[in-house]
Structures are given as structure tokens and as C-alpha cells.
Structure 1
Amino acid sequence: MNWFGFGFNGFGQIRPADATCKVNTPVLISDVCRSCVIRSDCRVRASWSSRAHVHRTDCGSHVCVSGFGFGSGSSEQMCGDTFPESRGCTDALISERHLTLNFTDRVECWEIQQPQNKLVWKREQDLSANTGQTAPLPLVPGGYVMPRSPFFRALCSELCAVSLALGTEHAVLLTSVGTVYSWGSGSHGQLGHGALTAQDEPQVVEALWGVPIQTVSAGSWHSASVSTGGDLYMWGWNESGQLGLPSRGLEEEKHRAKSGGNTEQTINKDEKNQADMFISIQAFPALVDVPNVSEISRVSCGSRHTAAVTGTGDLYTWGWGHYGQLGHCSESSTDEPTLVDYFPTHSMCVQDVVCGLWNTFVSAVPKHPPS
């Protein structure tokens, strides 16, 4: 399995920083850690300025970090610098200032301070009820971790959480029976409760009640979920078309481009009469149609863009594309889910996608591996 990246590269989190600030087509980033043999089950986590690559090897596991303050200065450092304190970790989260590491017996939060990192929080894990299955970060036994103080937040055990996605100011939780809860800021409809108010405690997303969900994601001000039947639901802010719904902002951009920047000619009377077709905020989950796709398997939300993997291993992206984070060989934005041609052109099947705020990381394998 190889990992690819595209989008914002201002700190070398995708490829060497001296190459370009924007990468608008997928580039390989995981012919990577040359000191060990990488197994296929590695994963990527991303923040705005950095990327953490969790490597599982035959001799253990560790995290390599690329981006602000870390390696990526040459093609020999495509994976970045090894974070020595991560040896033996099972999972990681990265933010602008902190790297959170999950081990079998503890969780640690390190303040990133080159060249010396500082342990700022640690919590021992109770292994007495260990079932052998661990939920991915930010979930930890008894609650979840945040990339800022207070680092640990408790969760009611009755929720039976299996995954949790953190947005800029909100959280979306998935339970073991496929029910979705959300809480935090609701200023852009990102909670999916039909209002624009904040919610301090987890509240069930009633519009999805009875629809078993298999995965959730949270962007800066929008959210997404995929049902067990492969249907994609999205809600929140749609300013850049990140919900895959008609965006007035993108329509106005098209008219400004056509009219040479004359804002008075941006939208004609007929289009103004049809203004209700544009969606700025979607406060309830909406079923999103991806053309020619019958099933979605995974979804990830960036700051203002979205990426989804289909059941057949194709990748579709939409939303804000200023840094090339949509992977369409351009910096254009779109409110229509669009196939990323790179992977079918290279006979590759996409298995996973992780959106950073302004970039996208994708794992893929050959469709027809050599026998």
C-alpha cells in the first residue's frame, strides 16, 4: 500500500518544501522510511502545517513527522523525521503544537519543540477490561483527547463510542449501533440538529435516527457520514461547495471570471429568482448524490473540501481547491463530486483517504497486483 498527497505544501508536508507550495496532482509520499520495512497497515494523520505517518514494521512501530520544523528538505526525507518518543505507539494525532501518541498501556501528549520535545500530559491506560480491540484516536478509555489543555475529556460509557471526529469547534461521534451524536459549536449548521446554536453535551442527530452509519468525519465547519448501505450524508457550511450541494459563492466566482471581475454582472435576474437553489448552510443531514456511484465506503472532510472513496476503489473530491487539494490538476473549486483521474489512469484502487485542512492524503494499491 502506497500513500499519496496533494494540496497545500507550504511546509513540505507532502514533498520537499523547496519544490512548490501547491501540489495539484497526487504524488507518492510513501516510498518512505528507508531504515525499515514498512507493513501495509500504516496510516497518515494531518494538521495544517504537518503530517504524521504512523509506521508499523516487523520490528515495532513509530511515527515520522513532516512539515513545519521537521524533515522534508530532500527527496531522501519524503517521510520526514522519526519522532523518537513514539517507539511502540499504536496510533497518533498531530496538531500545530502537539503530537498525541497512543500506546497499549498509556496515552501521551508531547509539545513539539525542535530539537527537544516536551511531554506535557500522560495518562495510564486501564488494561483490566481490554478486549483486544482499541478505538482509533481521539477516543481513549473513558473519553477522548483534545490537542489542547485540558487534554482529556470524559464521555459517558453508555454511548459505546467506536469512532470520534473532531472539527475546529465541534465533534461528531459514532456508536457501536451506528447512531450519530454531535456537540460543540453549531454556528454553521455543522451539528446537524437543524439549528445554528451550540450544544455542550452529545446530542443524537435525529435526522439520521434509524439509519445505521458506518463512518463519520468532521471538517472545520461541516460534517459527513456514510451509512452501512453506502449512502453519503453531509451537513454544515457550503460556502465552497464542500457539501456537494449548489454553492452561490462558487457560482458568483464563475460569473466574476466571465465578466472580468465586474461584480454588478455576476448573477442575472433569472438566477436571482432561483436563489433558493443555492445552499450556504445545510443544518440537517442531506443525502448527497455522487454521479455514477452506487456506494461510498469512506469519507474525509478538510477545512472546506471533502473526499470520498467509492465501493469500487475510486476517489471523488469537491469543495475548495485553491491549493490543489482536490487532485484535479488545477486550483479550481467545485460543488460537484468529481473523479480524481490519477488513480484509475494508473490502474490503482483507493483504499483510504485522510484530509488535512488544505490538503489530501490517499492510500492506494494496484488494481491487478503481480502474481
Structure 2
Amino acid sequence: MRWFGFGFNAFGQICVHEKLIKGQCSDAVKVISPTELTLASHADRRGCRLKTDGQIRASWSRRASLHLDGDSCVCLAGFGALISNESCGISMKESRGCKDAYISELYLTLAFPDRIESWDLQTKEKSASWSMEVKTESSGPPMNLPLVPGGYIATKPPFYRSLSPHLKAKSLALSAEHAILLSASGAVYTWGLGSHGQLGHGDLTSEEEPRAVEALWGMPMSHVATGGWHSVCISDGGDLYVWGWNESGQLGLPSRGLRKALQQQSSQQAGAPCKDASTSPHEEPQEGEKHEDVFISIQAFPALLDITPSCEISTVSCGCRHTAAVTTTGDLYTWGWGDYGQLGHQTLMSSDEPQLVEFFREQQMRVVDVVCGAWNTFAAVVKEEVARS
């Protein structure tokens, strides 16, 4: 399995250019073509390649490469890692033996068989800023961060937050301000900030405690993910449901703001006079549009998103304002904000419609996993062995 990255690269999260090292990073900030990840940091040129079962975790300015085969460890790339492979307060040696990792902009959390550790990425302390002992039941399914026995690890102190055992949590996705939980029965629960409809309860109110998303009740889900102010989930049948903020088209639904921006950009490139940019995006549509275009800025209820041609979704991930989904046939579709090339279409265009990332199909690669950072995207691929029908 090989990992590729594209999008925001101001701190060398994807690849390191000499200009980044010298601080001249104007043309190294955006990686618009999928680029294979090799070194986890510039300083550690001895190897640290992602192996067969390696995993990626990403925040806005950093990437954590989790190596699971052999002597497992975590390597950091991005902010601070250009200076030393022991920057950000943690070295590869101190992470050896970890089984999972979770990274936010401020902290790196590591799961060991007997403990959980959180490291402060803003300091150079040589010890974890917080830790707790854990006892896992060997007979039960493995817990995946940020879930831990009895609760979950938050992105900031207090780190440990308890969860009701009645929820029977299977997986959990956290954004900076809201959370989405998948139970063992396939039910979805959300809580936190709700100002952009990201909780899926049909309103814009916040919730202090987990509340079931009633619109999805009775439809078992298999996967959940969360972005800045939007949420997504996949049903057992491979259908994709989206809700929350859609200002940049991150839900894959028609966005008036995005369409208008693209229209202005097209007019400028063509040399034609563009319309007044100060015109309200909520103005009445022109005659002929009224029954054709329905624009959505906030979707407070889960909406079924169709991807054409019809396909089943196996996994999905969200960035701050973009979304990426992998189909059961190994294709990658992306949509939303694309100003840093994070959609992988080798342009800086945004899109409010799911679009196939042609690069991997052209290279005869099958995408098997996807992880979004805030402004970039990482895709795991294998060589396509059977010709596509």
C-alpha cells in the first residue's frame, strides 16, 4: 500500500522542497498533483517510509505517519519537523510500541496497550503532558482513538471525557467544536456546536450531550466523519448522507456562493466584465432559474448524496471545507473548497459536485483509504490487479 498527498503544504506536510527549508515557500505551499509520501520528516533521511499497513493522521499544519508493522512508531511531518525529527516534544523512540495515534493542532495522542498519552506539540518537553492507564478486554473489539474504554479523548484539556455505556460506541469523529458518534447498532449521535446545522437535528441549536440523529433512525450506518462545520456518514448499503454547512460546496449540494465565485473567476479569465461582487448572494434568481436552481447554504437534516455514476461508498473523510469519499470499486471522489489543490484534480478549482480524481485511475491504482487534513488530502492506494469493467 502506498500513500499520496495533495493540497496545503506550507509546512512540508506532504513533501519537503528546498525552498520550504529556506523559508521561501511561495511556490511550495500548494501541491496540486497527487504526490507519493516518502519521508515522514526532512531531518530523518534514513527511512521512515510508510509500510504496508501504515496509517495517516492529519491536522492543519502537521501529518502523523503511524507505522504498525514490526516495531510500531509514529513519525511527524509538517510544522516543526523540518528542524529535527525530535521536534514538537516527541521523538520516534518515545512513540515505539503505540497501536494508534490521533493528532490535533495542539496535541498528539498515542494509544499503547496499557496507557494513553497526550503530548503537547507547542512545547519541547521530553515527557507526555497527560497520561492515563487503560485496561482493555481482550475479547472485545479494539478501541480506535479518540475512543478509549469508558469514554473518549478530547482535542484539548480536560482530555478524558466519559460516555454513557448505553451508547455502545463503535467509532467517534471529532471536529474542533462538534462530535459524531456511531454506536454498535449503527445509530448516529451528535453533540457540540450546532450553529451551521452540523448536528443534523433540523435546527441550529447546540447540544451538550449526545443526541440521536432521528432522521437516520432505523437505517444502520457503518462509518461517520466530521469536518469544520459539516458531518457525513455511510449506511450499511454504501449510501452517503451529508449535513451542515455548504458555503464551499463541501456537502456536494448546489452552493450559490461557490457558483457565483466560479462565475466571476470565469468572467475575469475571459476578459469579460464581471458582475458587482457586492451583490447579495441571497438575491432573487433570474427569470428561468426559479424552478431550476435550488441553492443550499445550510443543510440541517441529513441529505442523501448521489454520486454519478451510481456507486457504493466504502469510506469517507472531511477536511475543514472539503470532503473525499472512496467507492467500493476503488475510485476517489472529492468536492468542496479547492483553493490549495486539496481536491486532487490538478487545479485550484472548487466544486459543489463530487468529481472523480482521475489521477489514480490513469495510473491504474485502486484507492483503499482516504484521510483529510484541514486543507489537504491523503489517499492510500494499491496497484490495480484486475482491469476495470
Between the aligned partners of 1:197 and 1:248, the Cα distance in structure 2 is 24
Query: Which sits farther off after the overlay, 312-321 or 64-73?
Result: 64-73
Distance 2:83 2:181 in 1: 34
- Which whole-Å CA distance do the structure 2 matches of 1:132 and 1:39 have between them? 27
Deviation at 1:95, TM superposition (A): 1.6
For residues 3-46 of structure 1, the C-alpha deviation after alignment (integer angstroms, 9 at most, x for no partner) is 10000001000000536100111100047685478642211000
Which residue of the partner structure matches residue 56 of structure 2?
44
In the aligned structure 1, how far is the partner of 2:385 from the partner of 2:175? 37
Aligned 8 A contact 1:2 1:31 in 2: no
336, 340, 353: which one aligns with 1:323: 340
Matched, 1:356 2:373: yes
271-280 vs 132-141, greater mean Cα deviation: 271-280
Match for 1:262 among 275, 299, 302? Answer: 275
Residue 145 of structure 1, CA deviation: 0.3
Residues 24/35 of structure 1: CA separation in 2 closer, same or farther (3 Å cut): closer
> 1-side partners of 2:347 and 2:116: how far apart?
40
In the alignment, is residue 289 of structure 1 matched against residue 289 of structure 2? no
Give the aligned partner of residue 339 of structure 1.
356
Tell me which residue corresponds to 2:320.
303
Report if aligned partners of 1:2, 1:30 keep a CA contact under 8 Å in 2: no
Aligned mates of 2:364, 2:62 — CA distance in 1: 29
Q: 2:244 matched to 1:233?
A: no
Measure the CA separation in 2 of the matches of 1:97 and 1:235: 27
Judged with a 3 Å threshold, the aligned counterparts in structure 2 of structure 1 residues 36 and 243 are, in CA distance, closer, same or farther, namely closer
Cα distance in structure 2, aligned partners of 1:69 and 1:260: 45
Q: Within 5 A, what are the aligned runs for 1:1-371?
A: 1-17=1-17, 18=19, 20-30=28-38, 34-35=46-47, 39-58=51-70, 60-71=71-82, 82-113=91-122, 115-127=124-136, 129-131=137-139, 133-257=141-265, 258=267, 260-263=273-276, 269-270=286-287, 273=290, 277-368=294-385
Secondary structure in 1 aligned to 2:129?
strand
In the alignment, the residues of structure 2 paired with residue 125 and residue 364 of structure 1 have an alpha-carbon distance, to the nearest angstrom, of 33
Shift in CA distance, 12/37, structure 1 to aligned 2, threshold 3 Å: closer
Single out whichever of 88-97 and 100-109 deviates more from structure 2.
88-97
Indicate the SS of the match to 1:277: coil
In structure 1, what is the Cα distance between the partners aligned to 2:192 and 2:306?
28
Letter in 2 for 1:4: F
Provide, for residues 294-328 of structure 1, a one-character-per-residue CA deviation record: whole Å limited to 9, x for no partner: 21111111100000000100000000000000000
Letter of the structure 2 residue corresponding to residue 64 of structure 1:
C
Q: Number of matched residues? A: 361
Amino acid at match of 2:224: V
Structure 1 gap ranges (5+) = none
Equivalent pair of 1:111/1:117 in contact (CA under 8 Å): no
Checking the alignment, whether the CA contact within 8 Å between 1:66 and 1:72 is kept in structure 2 is no
Tell me if structure 2 keeps the 8 A contact 1:110–1:117. no
The one-letter code of the counterpart of 1:234 is: V
1:6–1:359 Cα contact (<8 Å) kept: yes
Query: What are structure 2's unaligned runs of at least 5 residues?
Result: 21-27
What is the root-mean-square deviation of aligned Cα atoms in Å?
2.3
Q: Could you say if the C-alpha distance between residues 31 and 85 of structure 1 is closer, same or farther in structure 2, counting changes exceeding 3 Å?
A: closer
Mapped to 2, the partners of 1:50 and 1:104 lie a distance apart of 25
Distance 1:274 1:117 in 2: 62
Checking the alignment, whether the CA contact within 8 Å between 1:161 and 1:173 is kept in structure 2 is yes
Q: How big is the shift at 1:102?
A: 0.4
Q: CA deviation at 1:168?
A: 2.1
Bigger Cα displacement from structure 2, 337-346 vs 89-98: 89-98
- Aligned mates of 2:363, 2:83 — CA distance in 1: 25
Report the AA paired with residue 52 of structure 1. A
8 Å Cα contact 2:242/2:302 also seen in 1: yes
SS at match of 1:119: coil
Kept after mapping to 2: 8 A contact 1:22/1:323:
yes
1:108-162, CA deviations, whole angstroms, 9 ceiling, x for partnerless residues?
Answer: 00112565444111000024x3325312110001100012110110000111111
Equivalent-residue separation in structure 2 for 1:299 and 1:37 (angstroms): 24
CA distance in 1, matches of 2:378, 2:14: 9
Q: Tell me the distance in 2 between the aligned counterparts of 1:43 and 1:23.
A: 20
Give deviations 1:190-230, integer Å, cap 9, x for gaps.
Answer: 00000100000000000000111000000000000000100
The amino acid of 2:69's aligned partner reads T
For the 8 Å contact 1:350–1:365, the answer to whether it is kept is yes
The answer to whether the 8 A contact 1:142-1:157 is kept is yes
- Deviation of 1:273 (Å): 3.5
Cα 1:271/1:42, change in 2 over 3 Å: farther
